[in-house]
Every structure is written in C-alpha cells, then in structure tokens.
Structure 1
Amino acid sequence: WLARRAQDSITYRDIGQNPPSFLDHDWIASAFTPPERQEPWMKDALAESDLLVDELVAADVLVIGTPLYNFGMPAALKAWIDQVVRLGRTVGIDETKHPDPYIPMLGDRPRHAVILTARGGIGFGPGGEMAHMNHLEPNLVTALNFIGITRIHQIAIEGQETGGDVLAASVAQALRQVDVLVAELQAALDAKPLVTEHASRAAPAHAS
C-alpha cells in the first residue's frame, strides 16, 4: 500500500493480543451522561473508548482482519465494536424520529471498511450451505452501517480445518481479490484525496 501511497499513515491495532475492555456499569453510566455533566471518573471510564473512536473517525480505510469463531466474532472484536458504537461520538439520536431515532455520524465523508475473514470450515459465504450459520460478517456490516460506514468490502479464506488443496485454492483466490481491491481503493482515494488508513486486526483463526 505505502509503495504507491507513501503519504498515507497506518494505525495498526492488534486487538487479539491487546483486547479492548468489555463494557461495564461505569462505562454505560458515563457514555449516557452528557459531556457537560460528566464527573472526572466518568471521563476516565471513557478514555479507552475515546482513543478507539478517535482512531476510527480519523480513518479513511478501516481494515478488520478476523477469524470466524463458533459462527460469530471473537470476544475481543465484539469489545471493540462496543467501544466505538458510541452515542454522541459515532451515532446520534433524534427523538422526533420514530421508530428509528438513530443517526449515523460517520457518513460525513466517504469511508471504506474492508473485512478480511478466516474460516475453518467451508460454505459459510453468501449462497453457501453453511451461510445461515455465519453471524460474523452480517453482524459487522450491521454495526458499521449503524454508525455510517456503508462502503464495505469483504474477502474470506475458507478451509483452514481441511487444509490441502481446498485451503490453497481459497488463499490464492483471496490474494487475487486483495490485489484487485487494493487497486480499486487506491484509485478511489486518488480521485478524492483523503487522510489516513487504519487497520484493526484480531488474532489468527484456526476454527469456525
């Protein structure tokens, strides 16, 4: 990426090795208190969330690398989602709008999200025999759309449990898709210069 766009900066966050904190009562109480009424301990409770949200807001391309664990996302990635889906920071509310009062706040400029998935089994992609059991990508797409990131690209590797030719073919196909996607994203950024690229990566996958 940097060989062609040396002006970009990349923020790498390994949430597999350094998982975000899970939400607790203090976090919820703080996040739903207006900033002007927050006590010092509330600001401390939201410090990690503020950092993660700041990284996301600054990003033009968000890359999420994640395994499929037991039909869904790893706990660390869910914790990251919970930290960045934040009232007043990434999602607003208009109580006059019913039944859906929520307003995405990250649709202010074209942001892209790339979801790179590793699956132990096969057939979990759209149209596959196991697609109805895949609650990873649909969950991520819903959360990202909710905060205003709607330009979403997905590439998956399957067959890590099977190995052999099945895995090799899946990896080869994914690498070709990555090359095509990188060219498309860079062309889009060249056409409308943006600011940064941000990568968020979970631990490598070995099971679905």
Structure 2
Amino acid sequence: MKLLHLDSSVLGPHSVSRQVSAAAVDRLRQSTPGLEVSYRDLTLTPLAHLSGLHLAAGQGAAPDASLRDDLAAGQAVLDEFLAADIVVIGAPMYNFTVPSQLKAWIDRILVAGKTFKYGAQGVEGLAGNKRVIIAISRGGYYGPDTPIAPGEHVETYLRWVFGFIGIHNPEFISADGIQVGPDHREKAVAGALKAAGDLQAA
C-alpha cells in the first residue's frame, strides 16, 4: 500500500498543518505494516502556475521548449497521485483559501482522462479508490454557525475538488483559532493531534 504525503505551508517547523499531517502519517505508518510513504514539500519544489502555453500543450499542441522540465514535473506529481492508495495533505488557510502552491498541484492532478472524464451523464470521477486525509489549520473560527463561515474556502473547496474526481468522503482534521490567542492555539493543536492519532487504520 502506498501513501503520498504533501505539505503546502510556508512556515516550515512553525506550521500547525505540517505537525498534524505528520502525525496522521505516523499513525498510518504504525498501523499499516509495509506502508510505503513518499513525501513532497510543495514549497521547496513548487510547481509553476498554469499559463497559456501549458493549456495549449494540454490540448495537443507541440510543447514550448521552455516548458519541458515543468511538464515533466507536472507528469511526475500526477503519477505520484495516481499511484497512491492514501493521500495526506497539510493545507493551511491563507487569505481564506489554500496556498497557491497547493492550488498549482491541484491544477496538475485535475486532468481529463486521468482523474475525471466527461460522459453522457456529465462528469465522472476516476480517482474514487483513494483515501484522502487533509490537515487544515485556520487562524479563526469558520464553523457553519459563525458570522465568517461564508469566507471559508479551504475545506469547502477541497471537498468539492476531490469529489469532482470521485473521492466523495475526504477526511478533515482541523485546527481552528490558532491566531486567536496562545490558549486557543494550544487547544486547537492538541485536539488536531489527538484526532490524527485516532485515525482509523488503513
């Protein structure tokens, strides 16, 4: 069984989402003999954002020579994703949504004919055989009963993205309110780490 671990926080060792994603991976590694884990830090090896040249190449045009290495990197992350049975993602909220580094990765895995296809009944996801676990950190509280709930575009966005490719039950572990104050941060981190440690075995 293969697990792909991704982090997207720019905060390095100070990142809450990194702590929680690492705890989730540790839990699954301990509970799953022979689990093969690969890791990609999207901030250390960022993917380029899509351009018109990328889209042209995706439509069958001869790729521009300047894109050769980047297209190879995009193919590599798509292959990693397709090969994984489990995907664990660290996803902090930056200005109400995911980091741009994570968005660039998403742009490389949402590929028609690979992770979804269009048919007579509409869109069909092709990646529904994967388990996806997402560790979210948010500075405030964005629950459905809060005044700022409409500004939450991390969990809502990722739930839609993965549902689009057939993964309809992604698992979320959230650390909320980490910028409200030290006590709130400590409680949020402790709760998220406990949730990671209690994950169901693979």
The bucket for the TM-score relative to the shorter chain is: 0.7 to 0.9
Shift of 1:117: 0.9
Give 1:64's aligned residue.
89
**Unaligned ranges ≥5, structure 2:** 1-27
Give 1:199's aligned residue.
none
Shift of 1:90: 1.1
CA distance in 2, matches of 1:18, 1:12: 11
Q: In the TM superposition, what are the counterparts of 1:1-12 in structure 2 within 5 Å?
A: 1-12=28-39
Q: In the TM superposition, what are the counterparts of 1:24-173 in structure 2 within 5 Å?
A: 24-33=51-60, 39=62, 41=64, 44=68, 46-94=71-119, 96-97=120-121, 101-107=122-128, 109=129, 111-121=130-140, 123-173=141-191
Maintained 8 Å contact 2:57/2:63: no
Maintained 8 Å contact 1:31/1:86: no
Q: Say what the alpha-carbon RMSD is for the aligned residues.
A: 2.0
**Unaligned ranges ≥5, structure 1:** 190-208
Maintained 8 Å contact 1:52/1:84: yes
CA distance in 2, matches of 1:85, 1:68: 21
Of the structure 1 ranges 5-14 and 42-51, higher mean CA displacement relative to structure 2 is found in: 42-51
Q: Does 1 or 2 have the higher relative contact order (CA < 8 Å, sep 6+)?
A: 1
3-state DSSP of counterpart to 2:78? helix
Give 2:22's aligned residue.
none
- Number of residues of Structure 1 aligned to a counterpart in Structure 2: 173
3-state DSSP of counterpart to 1:7? coil
Name the % identity: 31
Maintained 8 Å contact 1:119/1:157: yes
3-state DSSP of counterpart to 2:198? helix
1:86-127 alpha-carbon deviations (Å, 9 max, x no partner): 112111122x34xxx3221112x3x11111111112x21343
CA distance in 1, matches of 2:63, 2:58: 13
Maintained 8 Å contact 1:31/1:87: no
Q: Residues 71 and 5 (structure 1 numbering): CA distance in 2 closer, same or farther, change over 3 Å? A: same
Give 1:205's aligned residue.
none
Which AA in structure 1 matches 2:30?
Answer: A
3-state DSSP of counterpart to 1:2? helix
Verify: 1:13 aligned to 2:40, yes or no.
Answer: yes
Shift of 1:40: 6.2
CA distance in 1, matches of 2:149, 2:44: 29
